[in-house]
Structure 1
Amino acid sequence: MKVIIDQDKCVASGQCVVAAAEVFDQRDEDGIVVLLNPAPPAEQADDVRQAAALCPALAIQIEE
């Protein structure tokens, strides 16, 4: 799994951090998503998929 984020699309809702805090974080100054792990382990895959599904801006792309 490879995770790609588009910070320009991000609206700082934080849903990705709630769903997968090991993979996503937010910048302190504006809340924009920060990718902590672009290649998360298999055991985090479901959480990452949920984060992508919950993102209101569709800023998270997943390549399987």
Structure 2
Amino acid sequence: QFSVFKPALADLAVEKLAPIASEMRRIQGDRAYVDAVLKDGGDRARAIAEGTMKTVRDIIGLLQD
């Protein structure tokens, strides 16, 4: 039977997942950090999208301002 391993597996899972849960709580509690990460990601995505959209417009012949 594997029932003898279940408590050890549960303890190991808690041990390994506890730091992840702790970090998630820390991040969720730091609104400024979350906002900064989202802004940075948005800025980087926008820069990539602008280049992609310029290429698309050039290919299909749309005029840009």
User: Normalising by the residue count of structure 1, what TM-score does the alignment of the two structures yield?
Assistant: 0.24
Structure with greater strand share of residues: 1
Higher helix share: 2
TM-score for the superposition, normalised by structure 2:
0.24
| Larger radius of gyration between Structure 1 and Structure 2 | 2
Comparing both chains, which one has the higher relative contact order based on Cα–Cα distances under 8 Å and sequence gaps of 6 or more?
1
